[in-house]
Structure 1
Amino acid sequence: MNTILPSPHDPAEELRRLATAATPTVHARADLARTVLNRARRQRRVRRLGKVAAAVGGGLVVLTTVAAANLLGRSDYFTVTEPSEVMESTINVGERVVLNKKLSPARGDIVIVHLARDGYTYDAIFRVVALSGDTIGCPTGPAGRCEGVVVNGTTLPEPYLGAAVTDPFPTSTVPDHMIFLLGDNRARAHDSRFIGPVRLTDVGGVAVRIENRNGQVRAVPGAPAHPGPGDRDNVDPATQVPPAFVGSPR
Protein backbone atom coordinates (compact mmCIF):
# COMPACT_ATOMS: atom_id res chain seq x y z
CA MET A 1 0.00 0.00 0.00
CA ASN A 2 1.30 3.36 -0.88
CA THR A 3 1.30 5.90 1.98
CA ILE A 4 0.43 9.43 0.95
CA LEU A 5 2.81 11.79 2.68
CA PRO A 6 1.74 15.35 3.36
CA SER A 7 2.92 17.86 0.87
CA PRO A 8 5.78 19.95 2.20
CA HIS A 9 3.70 22.93 1.14
CA ASP A 10 0.52 21.87 2.99
CA PRO A 11 -0.24 24.96 5.20
CA ALA A 12 -2.28 23.10 7.83
CA GLU A 13 0.35 20.47 8.35
CA GLU A 14 3.08 23.07 8.48
CA LEU A 15 1.22 24.99 11.22
CA ARG A 16 0.76 21.83 13.29
CA ARG A 17 4.43 21.04 12.98
CA LEU A 18 5.51 24.51 14.04
CA ALA A 19 3.11 24.49 16.98
CA THR A 20 4.43 21.15 18.19
CA ALA A 21 8.00 22.32 17.92
CA ALA A 22 7.28 25.56 19.78
CA THR A 23 5.25 24.11 22.67
CA PRO A 24 8.15 23.45 25.07
CA THR A 25 9.34 27.04 24.81
CA VAL A 26 6.03 28.76 25.61
CA HIS A 27 5.75 30.02 29.21
CA ALA A 28 2.37 31.69 29.92
CA ARG A 29 1.89 34.00 32.91
CA ALA A 30 0.13 32.28 35.80
CA ASP A 31 -2.65 34.94 35.79
CA LEU A 32 -3.14 34.95 32.03
CA ALA A 33 -6.41 33.00 32.17
CA ARG A 34 -7.83 35.32 34.81
CA THR A 35 -6.79 38.41 32.82
CA VAL A 36 -8.44 37.11 29.65
CA LEU A 37 -11.62 36.21 31.57
CA ASN A 38 -11.86 39.64 33.19
CA ARG A 39 -11.34 41.33 29.84
CA ALA A 40 -14.11 39.27 28.32
CA ARG A 41 -16.46 40.19 31.18
CA ARG A 42 -15.72 43.88 30.74
CA GLN A 43 -16.42 43.63 27.03
CA ARG A 44 -19.75 41.91 27.73
CA ARG A 45 -20.72 44.70 30.18
CA VAL A 46 -19.88 47.36 27.60
CA ARG A 47 -21.95 45.55 24.98
CA ARG A 48 -24.89 45.29 27.40
CA LEU A 49 -24.74 49.03 28.18
CA GLY A 50 -24.60 49.77 24.49
CA LYS A 51 -27.72 47.66 23.86
CA VAL A 52 -29.61 49.43 26.67
CA ALA A 53 -28.59 52.83 25.34
CA ALA A 54 -29.66 51.90 21.83
CA ALA A 55 -32.99 50.56 23.08
CA VAL A 56 -33.95 53.86 24.73
CA GLY A 57 -32.60 55.93 21.87
CA GLY A 58 -30.37 57.99 24.16
CA GLY A 59 -27.13 56.26 25.02
CA LEU A 60 -25.54 59.48 26.24
CA VAL A 61 -28.42 60.12 28.63
CA VAL A 62 -28.23 56.61 30.10
CA LEU A 63 -24.48 56.68 30.60
CA THR A 64 -24.61 60.18 32.07
CA THR A 65 -27.29 59.07 34.54
CA VAL A 66 -25.17 56.10 35.60
CA ALA A 67 -22.15 58.35 36.03
CA ALA A 68 -24.13 60.88 38.06
CA ALA A 69 -25.43 58.16 40.36
CA ASN A 70 -21.90 56.98 40.98
CA LEU A 71 -20.87 60.56 41.89
CA LEU A 72 -23.69 61.05 44.41
CA GLY A 73 -22.27 62.46 47.61
CA ARG A 74 -18.96 63.44 46.00
CA SER A 75 -20.00 66.89 44.82
CA ASP A 76 -19.08 70.10 46.65
CA TYR A 77 -22.70 71.17 46.14
CA PHE A 78 -25.87 69.69 47.61
CA THR A 79 -29.49 70.74 47.93
CA VAL A 80 -31.91 70.74 50.84
CA THR A 81 -35.60 71.60 51.05
CA GLU A 82 -36.64 73.96 53.84
CA PRO A 83 -39.55 72.44 55.81
CA SER A 84 -39.93 75.01 58.60
CA GLU A 85 -40.68 78.70 59.10
CA VAL A 86 -37.51 79.67 60.96
CA MET A 87 -35.97 81.46 57.93
CA GLU A 88 -39.09 83.10 56.49
CA SER A 89 -39.40 85.22 54.49
CA THR A 90 -35.81 84.78 53.28
CA ILE A 91 -36.43 81.07 52.68
CA ASN A 92 -40.02 79.92 52.55
CA VAL A 93 -41.31 76.47 53.39
CA GLY A 94 -40.74 74.12 50.43
CA GLU A 95 -38.04 76.20 48.78
CA ARG A 96 -34.69 74.60 47.96
CA VAL A 97 -31.32 75.83 49.15
CA VAL A 98 -28.14 74.96 47.25
CA LEU A 99 -25.13 74.78 49.57
CA ASN A 100 -21.39 74.33 49.20
CA LYS A 101 -19.82 72.04 51.77
CA LYS A 102 -16.30 73.43 51.21
CA LEU A 103 -16.96 77.11 52.03
CA SER A 104 -16.09 78.65 55.38
CA PRO A 105 -18.99 80.61 56.90
CA ALA A 106 -18.78 84.40 57.08
CA ARG A 107 -21.04 86.96 58.77
CA GLY A 108 -24.34 87.10 56.95
CA ASP A 109 -24.04 83.62 55.45
CA ILE A 110 -26.90 81.15 55.71
CA VAL A 111 -25.66 77.73 56.77
CA ILE A 112 -26.94 74.27 57.54
CA VAL A 113 -25.79 72.91 60.89
CA HIS A 114 -25.97 69.53 62.60
CA LEU A 115 -27.40 69.94 66.09
CA ALA A 116 -28.41 67.75 69.01
CA ARG A 117 -31.23 68.11 71.49
CA ASP A 118 -33.06 65.82 73.89
CA GLY A 119 -30.98 62.82 72.86
CA TYR A 120 -31.33 63.01 69.09
CA THR A 121 -29.66 64.95 66.27
CA TYR A 122 -31.21 67.11 63.59
CA ASP A 123 -30.25 69.61 60.89
CA ALA A 124 -31.32 73.26 60.81
CA ILE A 125 -30.78 76.27 58.57
CA PHE A 126 -29.83 79.59 60.22
CA ARG A 127 -27.96 82.80 59.51
CA VAL A 128 -24.46 83.53 60.83
CA VAL A 129 -24.54 86.85 62.68
CA ALA A 130 -21.30 86.66 64.70
CA LEU A 131 -17.99 84.80 64.51
CA SER A 132 -15.45 83.64 67.08
CA GLY A 133 -14.31 86.55 69.25
CA ASP A 134 -17.23 88.82 68.32
CA THR A 135 -19.46 90.38 70.94
CA ILE A 136 -23.17 90.17 70.17
CA GLY A 137 -26.33 91.23 71.91
CA CYS A 138 -29.68 92.92 71.45
CA PRO A 139 -29.95 95.54 74.22
CA THR A 140 -33.23 97.02 75.35
CA GLY A 141 -33.72 100.48 73.89
CA PRO A 142 -35.55 103.54 75.26
CA ALA A 143 -38.85 102.22 73.91
CA GLY A 144 -38.43 99.02 75.91
CA ARG A 145 -37.53 96.86 72.93
CA CYS A 146 -34.39 95.98 71.01
CA GLU A 147 -33.72 98.43 68.19
CA GLY A 148 -31.33 96.04 66.44
CA VAL A 149 -28.73 93.33 66.96
CA VAL A 150 -25.39 94.85 67.97
CA VAL A 151 -22.15 93.13 66.87
CA ASN A 152 -18.85 94.49 68.15
CA GLY A 153 -20.56 97.72 69.20
CA THR A 154 -22.25 98.38 65.84
CA THR A 155 -25.91 97.84 65.04
CA LEU A 156 -26.20 95.15 62.39
CA PRO A 157 -28.11 96.19 59.26
CA GLU A 158 -30.68 93.49 58.54
CA PRO A 159 -32.91 94.64 55.65
CA TYR A 160 -33.96 91.04 55.01
CA LEU A 161 -35.98 91.07 58.25
CA GLY A 162 -38.47 93.61 56.98
CA ALA A 163 -40.63 94.84 59.85
CA ALA A 164 -39.78 91.89 62.12
CA VAL A 165 -38.62 92.73 65.62
CA THR A 166 -35.94 90.95 67.64
CA ASP A 167 -36.60 90.52 71.34
CA PRO A 168 -33.78 91.75 73.61
CA PHE A 169 -31.05 89.30 74.63
CA PRO A 170 -27.88 89.90 76.67
CA THR A 171 -24.50 90.70 75.17
CA SER A 172 -21.91 87.91 75.15
CA THR A 173 -18.67 86.98 73.42
CA VAL A 174 -18.63 84.12 70.93
CA PRO A 175 -16.08 81.49 72.03
CA ASP A 176 -13.22 80.29 69.84
CA HIS A 177 -14.14 77.94 66.98
CA MET A 178 -17.84 78.76 67.34
CA ILE A 179 -20.43 80.95 65.59
CA PHE A 180 -23.63 82.66 66.72
CA LEU A 181 -26.71 81.83 64.64
CA LEU A 182 -30.13 83.46 64.34
CA GLY A 183 -33.16 82.57 62.30
CA ASP A 184 -34.56 85.35 60.12
CA ASN A 185 -38.01 84.64 61.56
CA ARG A 186 -36.94 85.72 65.05
CA ALA A 187 -40.32 85.02 66.63
CA ARG A 188 -40.23 81.36 65.55
CA ALA A 189 -36.57 80.34 65.56
CA HIS A 190 -34.97 78.37 68.38
CA ASP A 191 -31.45 79.56 67.64
CA SER A 192 -28.26 80.61 69.46
CA ARG A 193 -30.29 82.85 71.77
CA PHE A 194 -31.52 79.62 73.38
CA ILE A 195 -29.08 76.85 72.41
CA GLY A 196 -25.92 78.99 72.56
CA PRO A 197 -23.18 79.35 69.92
CA VAL A 198 -22.61 76.45 67.54
CA ARG A 199 -19.30 74.78 66.77
CA LEU A 200 -17.77 75.48 63.36
CA THR A 201 -17.29 71.76 62.93
CA ASP A 202 -21.08 71.34 63.03
CA VAL A 203 -21.53 73.43 59.88
CA GLY A 204 -22.42 71.19 56.96
CA GLY A 205 -22.52 73.78 54.19
CA VAL A 206 -22.90 77.42 53.20
CA ALA A 207 -25.83 78.56 51.03
CA VAL A 208 -24.95 79.85 47.57
CA ARG A 209 -28.45 80.29 46.12
CA ILE A 210 -32.15 79.75 46.74
CA GLU A 211 -34.62 78.14 44.33
CA ASN A 212 -38.38 78.57 44.62
CA ARG A 213 -40.98 75.93 43.76
CA ASN A 214 -41.01 77.07 40.12
CA GLY A 215 -37.26 76.60 39.75
CA GLN A 216 -36.48 80.33 39.76
CA VAL A 217 -33.08 81.07 41.29
CA ARG A 218 -32.18 84.03 43.49
CA ALA A 219 -29.15 85.12 45.47
CA VAL A 220 -29.04 84.74 49.25
CA PRO A 221 -30.11 88.15 50.64
CA GLY A 222 -27.80 89.70 53.19
CA ALA A 223 -25.03 87.15 52.52
CA PRO A 224 -21.65 87.56 50.82
CA ALA A 225 -21.72 86.57 47.15
CA HIS A 226 -20.56 83.00 46.53
CA PRO A 227 -20.24 81.31 43.14
CA GLY A 228 -22.90 78.70 42.49
CA PRO A 229 -22.48 75.43 40.63
CA GLY A 230 -21.60 75.69 36.96
CA ASP A 231 -23.16 73.79 34.08
CA ARG A 232 -20.67 70.95 34.51
CA ASP A 233 -20.81 70.75 38.30
CA ASN A 234 -22.63 67.84 39.87
CA VAL A 235 -25.23 68.93 42.45
CA ASP A 236 -26.59 66.29 44.79
CA PRO A 237 -30.40 66.22 44.62
CA ALA A 238 -32.66 67.82 47.17
CA THR A 239 -33.28 66.17 50.52
CA GLN A 240 -35.62 67.52 53.16
CA VAL A 241 -34.23 68.87 56.38
CA PRO A 242 -36.22 67.61 59.37
CA PRO A 243 -38.17 70.54 60.81
CA ALA A 244 -36.16 72.47 63.36
CA PHE A 245 -37.72 73.34 66.68
CA VAL A 246 -40.20 76.12 65.94
CA GLY A 247 -42.94 77.84 67.79
CA SER A 248 -42.53 80.07 70.78
CA PRO A 249 -38.92 79.45 71.90
CA ARG A 250 -39.80 80.21 75.46
Structure 2
Amino acid sequence: MKETTKKELVSWTKSLAFAIILAFICRQFFFSPITVFGESMSPSFQDHDRVVISKTSKIQRFDVIVFNAPDIESEHYIKRVIGLPGDSIEVKNDVLYINGKAYNEPYLSENKRNNPNNSLTEDFSLLEKTGKTKVPENMLFVMGDNRLNSKDSRTFGLISYDSVIGEVKLKIYPFNDIGLAK
Protein backbone atom coordinates (compact mmCIF):
# COMPACT_ATOMS: atom_id res chain seq x y z
CA MET A 1 0.00 0.00 0.00
CA LYS A 2 1.27 3.45 -0.80
CA GLU A 3 2.17 5.78 2.06
CA THR A 4 -0.46 8.40 1.05
CA THR A 5 -3.18 5.75 0.92
CA LYS A 6 -2.29 4.59 4.45
CA LYS A 7 -2.35 8.18 5.73
CA GLU A 8 -5.68 8.75 4.04
CA LEU A 9 -7.12 5.55 5.55
CA VAL A 10 -5.87 6.51 9.03
CA SER A 11 -7.33 9.99 8.61
CA TRP A 12 -10.73 8.61 7.56
CA THR A 13 -10.70 6.10 10.44
CA LYS A 14 -9.95 8.84 12.98
CA SER A 15 -12.69 11.05 11.54
CA LEU A 16 -15.22 8.23 11.61
CA ALA A 17 -14.29 7.25 15.19
CA PHE A 18 -14.60 10.90 16.29
CA ALA A 19 -18.02 11.20 14.62
CA ILE A 20 -19.27 8.02 16.33
CA ILE A 21 -18.03 9.17 19.75
CA LEU A 22 -19.56 12.62 19.25
CA ALA A 23 -22.91 11.09 18.21
CA PHE A 24 -22.86 8.82 21.27
CA ILE A 25 -22.15 11.72 23.64
CA CYS A 26 -24.87 13.88 22.07
CA ARG A 27 -27.43 11.08 22.30
CA GLN A 28 -26.54 10.20 25.90
CA PHE A 29 -26.44 13.73 27.30
CA PHE A 30 -28.13 16.24 24.97
CA PHE A 31 -30.84 14.80 22.71
CA SER A 32 -32.35 11.51 21.68
CA PRO A 33 -34.94 10.17 19.22
CA ILE A 34 -38.00 8.52 20.81
CA THR A 35 -40.96 6.66 19.31
CA VAL A 36 -44.43 7.48 20.66
CA PHE A 37 -46.54 4.47 21.63
CA GLY A 38 -50.27 4.79 22.23
CA GLU A 39 -52.94 7.41 21.67
CA SER A 40 -52.83 9.30 24.98
CA MET A 41 -51.38 12.44 23.36
CA SER A 42 -53.63 12.40 20.29
CA PRO A 43 -54.01 14.54 18.21
CA SER A 44 -50.74 16.29 19.16
CA PHE A 45 -48.78 13.03 18.81
CA GLN A 46 -50.00 9.77 17.31
CA ASP A 47 -48.99 6.15 17.86
CA HIS A 48 -45.60 5.50 16.19
CA ASP A 49 -44.74 9.18 15.69
CA ARG A 50 -41.03 9.79 16.12
CA VAL A 51 -39.82 12.77 18.11
CA VAL A 52 -36.55 14.25 19.30
CA ILE A 53 -36.22 15.12 22.96
CA SER A 54 -33.84 17.56 24.61
CA LYS A 55 -32.24 16.20 27.77
CA THR A 56 -31.04 19.63 28.89
CA SER A 57 -34.30 21.62 28.86
CA LYS A 58 -35.68 23.37 31.91
CA ILE A 59 -39.16 21.88 32.27
CA GLN A 60 -41.99 24.42 32.24
CA ARG A 61 -45.75 24.21 32.51
CA PHE A 62 -47.42 22.78 29.35
CA ASP A 63 -44.16 21.32 27.98
CA VAL A 64 -44.52 17.84 26.50
CA ILE A 65 -42.09 15.47 28.20
CA VAL A 66 -41.00 11.84 28.02
CA PHE A 67 -40.43 10.10 31.36
CA ASN A 68 -39.91 6.65 32.81
CA ALA A 69 -43.28 5.04 33.48
CA PRO A 70 -43.92 4.90 37.22
CA ASP A 71 -46.10 1.79 36.89
CA ILE A 72 -44.34 -0.31 34.21
CA GLU A 73 -40.63 -1.08 34.42
CA SER A 74 -38.51 -0.29 31.31
CA GLU A 75 -41.34 1.69 29.66
CA HIS A 76 -41.67 5.41 29.08
CA TYR A 77 -44.65 7.75 28.67
CA ILE A 78 -45.15 11.00 26.82
CA LYS A 79 -47.42 13.55 28.55
CA ARG A 80 -47.93 17.27 29.02
CA VAL A 81 -46.73 18.97 32.21
CA ILE A 82 -49.73 20.54 33.92
CA GLY A 83 -48.47 21.17 37.43
CA LEU A 84 -45.06 22.29 38.69
CA PRO A 85 -43.84 22.21 42.30
CA GLY A 86 -46.04 24.42 44.48
CA ASP A 87 -49.01 24.36 42.06
CA SER A 88 -52.55 23.56 43.13
CA ILE A 89 -54.41 21.75 40.31
CA GLU A 90 -58.16 21.47 39.82
CA VAL A 91 -60.57 20.84 36.94
CA LYS A 92 -64.17 22.05 37.13
CA ASN A 93 -66.63 21.79 34.24
CA ASP A 94 -63.77 20.84 31.89
CA VAL A 95 -61.76 23.98 32.76
CA LEU A 96 -58.23 23.63 34.16
CA TYR A 97 -57.41 25.78 37.18
CA ILE A 98 -53.83 26.17 38.35
CA ASN A 99 -53.44 28.08 41.59
CA GLY A 100 -57.05 29.29 41.17
CA LYS A 101 -56.47 30.74 37.69
CA ALA A 102 -58.38 29.30 34.69
CA TYR A 103 -56.21 28.21 31.76
CA ASN A 104 -57.14 27.75 28.12
CA GLU A 105 -55.87 24.45 26.71
CA PRO A 106 -55.85 24.90 22.90
CA TYR A 107 -54.27 21.47 22.37
CA LEU A 108 -57.59 19.95 23.55
CA SER A 109 -59.78 21.76 20.97
CA GLU A 110 -59.91 18.97 18.38
CA ASN A 111 -60.72 16.31 20.97
CA LYS A 112 -63.48 18.51 22.44
CA ARG A 113 -65.03 18.97 18.98
CA ASN A 114 -64.98 15.19 18.41
CA ASN A 115 -66.52 14.35 21.79
CA PRO A 116 -70.32 14.33 21.77
CA ASN A 117 -70.47 15.44 25.42
CA ASN A 118 -67.88 18.16 24.71
CA SER A 119 -66.26 17.28 28.05
CA LEU A 120 -62.85 15.61 28.26
CA THR A 121 -61.71 15.91 31.85
CA GLU A 122 -63.83 14.89 34.79
CA ASP A 123 -63.94 17.28 37.73
CA PHE A 124 -61.12 16.67 40.20
CA SER A 125 -58.68 18.38 42.49
CA LEU A 126 -55.06 17.48 43.18
CA LEU A 127 -56.07 16.62 46.75
CA GLU A 128 -58.58 14.00 45.52
CA LYS A 129 -56.08 12.43 43.12
CA THR A 130 -52.89 12.46 45.20
CA GLY A 131 -53.81 13.30 48.78
CA LYS A 132 -51.81 16.55 48.49
CA THR A 133 -53.11 20.10 48.05
CA LYS A 134 -50.01 21.28 46.16
CA VAL A 135 -47.50 19.59 43.88
CA PRO A 136 -44.50 18.84 46.16
CA GLU A 137 -40.91 19.86 45.44
CA ASN A 138 -39.16 17.78 42.78
CA MET A 139 -42.51 16.46 41.47
CA LEU A 140 -44.71 17.11 38.42
CA PHE A 141 -48.38 16.58 37.61
CA VAL A 142 -48.83 15.39 34.00
CA MET A 143 -51.80 14.62 31.76
CA GLY A 144 -52.24 13.36 28.21
CA ASP A 145 -53.97 15.51 25.59
CA ASN A 146 -56.41 12.66 24.88
CA ARG A 147 -57.92 12.96 28.36
CA LEU A 148 -60.56 10.28 27.78
CA ASN A 149 -57.87 7.73 26.89
CA SER A 150 -54.82 8.66 28.96
CA LYS A 151 -53.16 6.98 31.88
CA ASP A 152 -51.52 9.93 33.63
CA SER A 153 -51.11 11.62 37.03
CA ARG A 154 -54.84 11.19 37.59
CA THR A 155 -54.15 7.43 37.58
CA PHE A 156 -50.57 6.84 38.76
CA GLY A 157 -49.99 10.05 40.71
CA LEU A 158 -47.21 12.59 40.59
CA ILE A 159 -43.91 11.91 38.83
CA SER A 160 -40.47 12.94 40.00
CA TYR A 161 -38.12 15.20 38.07
CA ASP A 162 -35.61 12.34 38.24
CA SER A 163 -37.88 10.20 36.04
CA VAL A 164 -37.93 12.80 33.23
CA ILE A 165 -35.90 11.70 30.20
CA GLY A 166 -36.40 14.94 28.27
CA GLU A 167 -38.66 17.53 26.69
CA VAL A 168 -40.11 16.88 23.23
CA LYS A 169 -38.70 19.51 20.89
CA LEU A 170 -39.27 18.19 17.37
CA LYS A 171 -41.50 15.74 15.53
CA ILE A 172 -39.46 13.99 12.82
CA TYR A 173 -41.93 11.36 11.59
CA PRO A 174 -44.29 11.12 9.78
CA PHE A 175 -42.46 13.24 7.26
CA ASN A 176 -45.56 15.23 6.26
CA ASP A 177 -45.89 16.40 9.88
CA ILE A 178 -42.27 17.36 10.67
CA GLY A 179 -42.00 20.39 12.91
CA LEU A 180 -41.50 21.84 16.36
CA ALA A 181 -43.52 20.34 19.19
CA LYS A 182 -46.66 22.28 20.13
Give structure 1 stretches of 5+ with no counterpart.
Answer: 1-43, 54-58, 140-145, 222-250
Determine the C-alpha separation between the residues in 1 that align with 2:15 and 2:147: 43
Identity %: 25
Give the direction of change, closer, same or farther, for the CA distance of 1:83–1:199 in structure 2 (3 Å limit).
same
Deviation by residue 1:148-206 (Cα, 9 ceiling, x = unmatched): 11111112211111143112222431111101000111111110011111111111111
1:204 aligns with 2:165: yes
TM-score by length of 1: 0.58
Equivalent positions of 1:1-250 (< 5 A) are: 47=6, 50=9, 65-75=16-26, 76-117=30-71, 120-139=73-92, 146-162=93-109, 163-164=111-112, 165-172=120-127, 173-214=134-175, 216-221=177-182
Determine the C-alpha separation between the residues in 2 that align with 1:187 and 1:216: 24
- Greater Rg by CA: 1
Determine the C-alpha separation between the residues in 2 that align with 1:194 and 1:176: 20
- The two structures, once aligned, show a CA RMSD in angstroms of 2.5
Quote the offset at 1:208 in angstroms. Answer: 1.3
- By percentage of residues, which structure has more helix? 2
Give structure 2 stretches of 5+ with no counterpart.
Answer: 113-119, 128-133
Determine the C-alpha separation between the residues in 2 that align with 1:206 and 1:63: 33
SS in 1 for 2:25: coil
TM-score by length of 2: 0.78
Q: How many residues align?
A: 162
